[in-house]
């Protein structure tokens, strides 16, 4: 979408002092209408201002066009004001919360005794159209005192709270713009009557005639300030675009995107299923899905073996003492399944594998010569997720992680962490994953009860992580407050087709738990030292990673991952036996091949298997059987005929090399 929008900064102009922006632009014959029309300006301090703004000194500004991302956001912001006005017109007892534009549209939150129904949305949309048809002006008004604002918002308790709890002192005088200006936006009829008003930073369009097309999409609940202990609000979502065509394009693109939803494809391709008798969030991997899992796991084992990892197997539950030692009790209790009591002892299902691996480390004495000591396990963990948070395979209550722990000396830590980052690069590159970003999650020093309290350890762990990240040159975003209770995290964040973000991989530098567990090694000088632990899971969990790959490939997996690689189709049922023999031979060579000897025409079979995203179809008739050749047809369109042995070797090579693309040889 953004590629079609023009660059905000590309048009600049110098505004004289003492004249409104709109007057200056009109005098210069600058268009306000149409896609490239100017909707607002941005000063060099990054603050956006209305066209009614009157600079008190000559100022150079960037012009914000309607078709820029910033311009569209302003249109959506103004549209949500109209929506809120419509809501208060139709349901006068409704109180206002906040109403920002979003990446895909806008919403407004309301404190309301009414839960808005789909019918309400229809009525509201009608009311909005009426308001726009009548025509209104958006006008900014800066208040002169806090008392004025309190009076102005006397009927709006949530607005009063926003005013009272504003993090920086309000500015009142002159014509200030930005987060610290206490301003209201009035919706005025063309004869100047104030129809509605809202506490707002702005900017807004001059006039409803500069709005685009809009639609209200759905209503849902949201908590005031995102806090589930606070008031539950009614949120109405909508979206707006410049014109009908852009809206339609958005809706079709969205529909196309949702066709790739792993839940839909998982059903169609028989990858996994859920059964209420098993429990919510507890997936059943079907044979096809299990193939993908096993292939990924095999790859990870080979990779880890080449880097000196050893494999271990540990149980899925343990006594509570272990989790007190690890700090999961109490720091992680909310995410754990309830305890299990047996023979007067209390057990918990494990929410993480690390405590078990620490016990593996501790089971035998270690010397510096054993380090780095790397233990890996595809370990299954169980976490309690609130029912409303579950989402297909992306978010489950039981999942299996590509987990490993690296125990190393202080000196080795940065290098080991870098090796882990390089491992990610290798995996992602080979799988063709480019759409992701990284987050360095550190602790929020103001909220200490979520984290262990050794100040010095936090400083060191954050220094190691940050140092390795900077050395790797991979760009990252900082998330204050997102750290694990035992250390800072580096997460690889991916996006599902529904637009939600998930951590595909998570890695931590941990100085805390080795000390808790009393892990030591004999250093070269003969002293006992505490190792550093690196937690790493480059392929995350099978559940999340396979769902991400399913969406990424739209179900058309690379040959090596495809659950069904080859279907052999006889030209007529005369050749059923021959087709079966070909399939058997390919299967025996290690390929996932089967013959389709069902009662259907060849063309129908080809269509069926193409739709099931099977990468290779081999057609067998008299010629092929006589000459021992294979007529190969790729799902992507290519085709060729070659001796069967050659085709077999070629496909085995493609699978063995884990090639992303299968092409004609």
Positions marked active-site: 354, 383, 401, 403, 405, 489, 535
Contacts of 196 (CB under 8 A, 6+ apart): 81, 84, 85, 88, 186, 187
For the stretch 291-297, contacts whose Cβ atoms lie closer than 8 Å and that sit 24 or more positions apart, written own/partner, are 291/561, 291/563, 291/592, 292/546, 292/549, 292/557, 292/561, 292/563, 293/400, 293/542, 293/546, 295/560, 295/561, 296/402, 296/539, 296/542, 296/545, 296/546, 296/561, 297/378, 297/402, 297/542
Per-residue x/- marks for RNA, 634-653, CB under 7 A? -x---x-x------------
| Residue 178 DSSP one-character state | S
CB of 655 to RNA, least distance (A): 21
Site for RNA in 194-233 (CB under 7 A): 198-201, 218-223, 225-228, 232
CB of 632 to RNA, least distance (A): 8
Q: Are 538 and 423 in contact (CB under 8 A)?
A: yes
First-last CA distance in the chain = 36
Of 604, 638, 646, 653, which one interacts with RNA (CB under 7 A)?
604
Q: Are 569 and 619 in contact (CB under 8 A)?
A: yes
Phi and psi torsions of 257, nearest 5° = -60, -45
Rounded Cα distance between 101 and 200, Å, is: 13
Could you tell me which stretch among 127-135, 361-369, 437-445, 611-619 binds RNA (CB under 7 A)?
611-619
The residue among 51 and 73 lying less far from RNA, judged by its C-beta, is: 73
CA 648 to centroid of chain Cα atoms: 39
405 in a known ligand binding site? yes
**620 token code pair:** 């067998």
Site for RNA in 411-430 (CB under 7 A): none
Rounded Cα distance between 574 and 12, Å, is: 75
The residue among 201 and 489 lying less far from RNA, judged by its C-beta, is: 201
Site for RNA in 243-302 (CB under 7 A): 263, 267, 274, 276, 279-281
Q: Are 142 and 172 in contact (CB under 8 A)?
A: yes
Could you tell me which stretch among 38-46, 53-61, 122-130, 497-505 binds RNA (CB under 7 A)?
497-505
The residue among 104 and 345 lying less far from RNA, judged by its C-beta, is: 104
Of 286, 390, 418, 652, which one interacts with RNA (CB under 7 A)?
390
- Does 475 sit near RNA (CB under 7 A)? no
The residue among 235 and 424 lying less far from RNA, judged by its C-beta, is: 235
Of 166, 248, 311, 471, which one interacts with RNA (CB under 7 A)?
166
- Does 574 sit near RNA (CB under 7 A)? yes
CB-count burial class (<10 Å; 0-12, 13-18, 19+) for 388: exposed
485 in a known ligand binding site? no
- Does 98 sit near RNA (CB under 7 A)? yes
Rounded Cα distance between 508 and 416, Å, is: 12
Could you tell me which stretch among 308-316, 440-448, 459-467, 621-629 binds RNA (CB under 7 A)?
621-629
The residue among 30 and 390 lying less far from RNA, judged by its C-beta, is: 390
- Does 540 sit near RNA (CB under 7 A)? no
Could you tell me which stretch among 343-351, 472-480, 495-503, 531-539 binds RNA (CB under 7 A)?
495-503
Rounded Cα distance between 392 and 537, Å, is: 21
- Does 610 sit near RNA (CB under 7 A)? yes
Phi and psi torsions of 560, nearest 5° = -65, -25
Could you tell me which stretch among 331-339, 399-407, 533-541, 610-618 binds RNA (CB under 7 A)?
610-618
Of 600, 642, 652, 660, which one interacts with RNA (CB under 7 A)?
600
200 in a known ligand binding site? no
Q: Are 32 and 10 in contact (CB under 8 A)?
A: no
Of 44, 104, 193, 425, which one interacts with RNA (CB under 7 A)?
104
- Three-state SS string over 349-361 comes to ECCCCHHHHHHHH
Which residue from 508, 392, 383 is spatially nearest to 457, judged by alpha carbons? 508
- Does 398 sit near RNA (CB under 7 A)? no
Per-residue x/- marks for RNA, 113-132, CB under 7 A? --x-xx--------------
The residue among 180 and 297 lying less far from RNA, judged by its C-beta, is: 180
Give binding residues for Zn(2+) as ranges.
354, 405, 535
């Amino acid at each position: 979408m953004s590629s079609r929008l023009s660059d905000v900064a590309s048009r600049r102009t110098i505004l004289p002092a003492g004249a409104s922006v709109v007057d200056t632009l009109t005098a210069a014959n600058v268009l306000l209408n149409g896609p490239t029309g100017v909707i607002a300006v941005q000063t060099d301090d990054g603050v956006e201002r209305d066209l009614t703004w009157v600079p008190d000194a000559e100022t150079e500004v960037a012009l914000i066009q309607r078709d820029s991302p910033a311009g569209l956001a302003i249109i959506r912001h103004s549209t949500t004001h109209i929506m809120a006005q419509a809501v208060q017109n139709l349901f006068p007892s409704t109180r206002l919360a906040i109403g920002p534009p979003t990446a895909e549209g806008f919403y407004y939150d309301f404190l309301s005794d009414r839960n808005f129904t789909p019918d309400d949305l229809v009525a509201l949309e009608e009311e909005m159209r009426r308001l726009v048809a009548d025509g209104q002006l958006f006008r900014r008004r800066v208040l002169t005192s806090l008392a004025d604002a309190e009076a102005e918002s006397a009927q709006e308790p949530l607005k009063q709270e926003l005013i009272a709890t504003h993090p920086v002192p309000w500015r009142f005088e002159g014509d200030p713009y930005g987060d610290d200006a206490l301003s209201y936006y009035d919706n005025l009829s063309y004869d100047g009557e104030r129809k509605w008003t809202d506490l707002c930073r702005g900017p807004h369009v001059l006039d409803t005639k500069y709005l685009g097309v809009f639609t209200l999409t759905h209503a849902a609940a949201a908590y005031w300030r995102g806090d589930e202990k606070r008031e539950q609000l009614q949120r109405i979502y909508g979206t707006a675009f410049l014109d009908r065509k852009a809206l339609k394009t958005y809706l079709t693109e969205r529909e196309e995107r949702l066709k790739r939803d792993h839940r839909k494809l998982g059903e169609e391709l028989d990858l996994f299923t859920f059964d209420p008798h098993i429990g919510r969030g507890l997936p059943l991997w079907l044979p096809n899905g299990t193939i993908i899992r096993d292939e990924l796991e095999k790859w990870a084992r080979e990779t880890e073996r080449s880097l000196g990892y050893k494999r271990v197997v540990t149980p899925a539950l343990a006594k509570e003492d272990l989790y007190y030692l690890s700090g999961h009790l109490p720091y992680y209790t909310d995410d754990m399944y309830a305890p299990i009591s047996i023979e007067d002892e209390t057990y918990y299902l494990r929410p993480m594998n690390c405590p078990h691996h620490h016990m593996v480390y501790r089971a035998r004495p270690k010397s510096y010569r054993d380090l780095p000591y790397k233990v890996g396990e595809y370990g299954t963990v169980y976490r309690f997720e609130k029912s409303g948070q579950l989402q297909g395979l992306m978010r489950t209550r039981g999942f299996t992680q590509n987990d490993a722990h690296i125990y190393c000396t202080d000196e080795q830590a940065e290098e080991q962490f870098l090796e882990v980052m390089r491992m990610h690069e290798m995996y992602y590159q080979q799988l063709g994953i480019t759409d992701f970003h990284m987050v360095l999650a550190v602790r929020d020093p103001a909220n200490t009860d979520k984290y262990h309290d050794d100040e010095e350890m936090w400083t060191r762990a954050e220094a190691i992580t940050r140092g390795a990240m900077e050395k790797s040159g991979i760009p990252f975003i900082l998330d204050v407050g997102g750290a694990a209770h035992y250390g800072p995290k580096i997460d690889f964040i991916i996006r599902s087709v529904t637009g939600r973000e998930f951590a595909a991989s998570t890695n931590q530098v941990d100085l805390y738990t080795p000390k808790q567990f009393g892990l030591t090694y004999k250093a070269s000088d003969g002293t006992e030292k505490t190792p550093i632990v690196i937690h790493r899971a480059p392929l995350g969990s099978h559940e999340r990673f396979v769902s991400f790959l399913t969406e990424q490939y739209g179900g058309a997996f690379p040959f090596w991952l495809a659950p069904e690689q080859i279907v052999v189709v006889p030209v007529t049922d005369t050749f059923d036996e021959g087709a079966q023999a070909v399939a058997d031979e390919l299967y025996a060579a290690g390929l996932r091949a089967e013959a389709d000897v069902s009662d259907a025409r060849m063309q129908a079979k080809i269509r069926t298997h193409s739709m099931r995203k099977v990468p290779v179809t081999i057609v067998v008739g008299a010629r092929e059987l006589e000459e021992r050749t294979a007529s190969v047809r790729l799902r992507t369109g290519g085709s060729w005929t070659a001796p069967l042995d050659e085709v077999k070797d070629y496909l085995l090579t493609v699978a063995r090399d884990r090639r992303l693309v299968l092409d004609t040889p």
